[in-house]
């Protein structure tokens, strides 16, 4: 390979990684901006939970449909459409404020826009993930290496996004911060528009000749019949339901009460910095540690860290604990990606990713429904404990799940 050929071969992979960075940064900014706008107006954790739930409830159905849409319409096209619609949903906040005044930006409007954006986000994420095997192959990277860097980029986005979001809220205000979010989605669109990659266009129409809904059922059946995919999906469902309220409601509530938007950004950045290091380190870890060991360590560590955070220690301790959580959890997404990509046939890849993602989102709304009222009624400390103790129990149960031993067995070819 000549020096001029190497950048050309890596070009598609770099474009996918850049698009993931920009779209992730836009979502990271929203992660801070939406709860802040709500809490600034009402101060209610319940209201913040409603908006956070509105941003996660559509993800269950949307991710299922997204996987089928990717397989049916094509990965590149779906990624661009998804980012365009997500950009419109966040840009609507400042547009409505300019047209009708800031009073129109109430809980109902924010919940509606959060739901609108959530409908489209999974399609873009699924499309980019399913293009990785072909892009990695062209670049001469192993799939483990590509997944490791992809997830590191995702975590980097959540370093840039919440950090910038907190600073922008402090300087521009929550409403004008949404312009930056829309711009980030626009850059992701431009990157994918320039992408030329085998398998990124519209797939063989005969692969889904029976229609989208039949395709979704096919994906569900495939995941359910594969014991390692089924077990990973259920573990992730429980872990997500317990973790999402901490990031989406409890931390925003804690720092809003203290009028410290920048500190909220720092906490979310600490989670992402740890995740960035952990995801990048997975390429090295995979040579020396079993995938099952990495996963069990992550779930148990998250339970312990959340229990300590429940006592609301000083900010430096919270930051250290969040960084540790991010570090041990950083390799989990590359492991999930690897299992999905190696267990699913090419024509089913989008649907398998969609099914796994939708199951992970399924418990989020339930956790948010419980966490918001519980925080208002009993306080943050009790609510943190109500989430952390089941997380510890999940880690203990996972030790005895035989299907997780398949993580370290060679996968049969799709």
Give residues with Cβ within 8 angstroms of 202, minimum separation 6. 73, 74, 77
84: number of Cβ within 10 Å? 15
Q: Is the pTM for the entire model greater than 0.85? A: no
Q: Are 66 and 216 within 8 A, CB to CB?
A: no
Structural domains of the chain, ranges and CATH numbers in brackets: 10-205 (1.20.1250.20), 209-409 (1.20.1250.20)
Closest by alpha carbon to 143, among 7, 292, 281, 341? 341
Q: Are 64 and 354 within 8 A, CB to CB?
A: yes
280: number of Cβ within 10 Å? 20
d(CA 145, CA 9): 16
Per-residue pLDDT of the chain (414 residues; tens, 9 = 90+): 444 445 567 788 889 999 988 888 888 787 777 777 777 777 776 777 777 666 666 666 666 676 777 777 777 888 888 888 888 888 888 888 787 777 777 777 887 787 777 777 777 877 888 888 888 888 888 777 888 888 788 777 766 777 777 777 777 777 778 888 888 899 999 998 888 877 666 665 555 556 666 767 777 788 888 888 888 888 888 887 888 788 777 888 788 777 777 788 788 778 878 877 887 788 777 778 888 888 888 888 888 888 888 888 888 998 999 888 888 877 887 888 888 877 777 677 777 777 777 666 666 666 777 777 888 788 888 888 888 888 888 888 988 888 888 887 765 544
């Amino acid at each position: 390979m000549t020096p001029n050929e190497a950048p050309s071969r890596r070009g598609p992979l770099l474009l996918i990684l850049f698009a993931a960075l920009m779209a992730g940064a836009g979502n990271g900014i929203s992660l801070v901006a939406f709860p802040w706008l709500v809490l600034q107006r009402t101060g209610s954790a319940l209201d913040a939970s409603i908006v956070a739930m509105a941003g996660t409830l559509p993800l269950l159905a949307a991710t299922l449909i997204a996987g089928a849409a990717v397989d049916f319409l094509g990965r590149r096209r779906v990624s661009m459409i998804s980012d365009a619609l997500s950009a419109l949903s966040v840009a609507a906040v400042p547009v409505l404020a300019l047209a009708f005044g800031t009073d129109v930006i109430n809980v109902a409007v924010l919940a509606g826009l959060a739901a609108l954006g959530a409908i489209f986000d999974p399609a873009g994420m699924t499309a980019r993930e399913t293009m990785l095997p072909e892009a990695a192959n062209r670049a001469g990277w192993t799939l483990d290496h590509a997944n490791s860097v992809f997830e590191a980029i995702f975590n980097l986005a959540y370093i840039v996004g919440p950090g910038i979001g907190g600073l922008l809220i402090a300087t521009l205000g929550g409403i004008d911060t949404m312009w930056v979010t829309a711009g980030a989605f626009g850059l992701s669109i431009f990157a994918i528009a320039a992408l030329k990659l085998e398998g990124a266009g519209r797939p063989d129409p005969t692969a889904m000749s029976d229609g989208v809904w039949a395709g979704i059922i096919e994906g569900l059946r495939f995941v359910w019949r594969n014991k390692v995919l089924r077990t990973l999906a259920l573990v992730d469902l429980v872990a997500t339901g317990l973790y999402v309220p901490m990031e989406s409601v409890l931390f925003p509530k804690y720092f809003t009460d203290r009028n410290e938007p920048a500190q909220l950004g720092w906490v979310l950045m600490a989670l992402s910095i740890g995740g960035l290091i952990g995801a990048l380190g997975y390429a090295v870890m995979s040579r020396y540690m079993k995938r099952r060991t990495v996963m069990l360590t992550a779930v148990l560590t998250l339970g312990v860290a959340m229990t300590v955070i429940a006592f609301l220690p000083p900010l430096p301790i919270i930051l250290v604990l969040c960084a540790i959580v991010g570090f041990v959890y950083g390799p989990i997404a590359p492991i999930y990606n690897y299992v999905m990509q190696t267990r699913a046939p090419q024509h089913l890849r989008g649907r398998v990713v969609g099914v796994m993602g939708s199951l992970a989102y399924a418990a989020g709304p339930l956790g948010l429904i419980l966490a918001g009222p519980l925080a208002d009624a009993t306080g943050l400390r009790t609510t943190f404990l109500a989430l952390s103790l089941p997380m510890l129990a999940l880690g203990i149960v996972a030790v005895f799940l035989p299907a997780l031993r398949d993580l370290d067995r060679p996968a049969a070819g799709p």
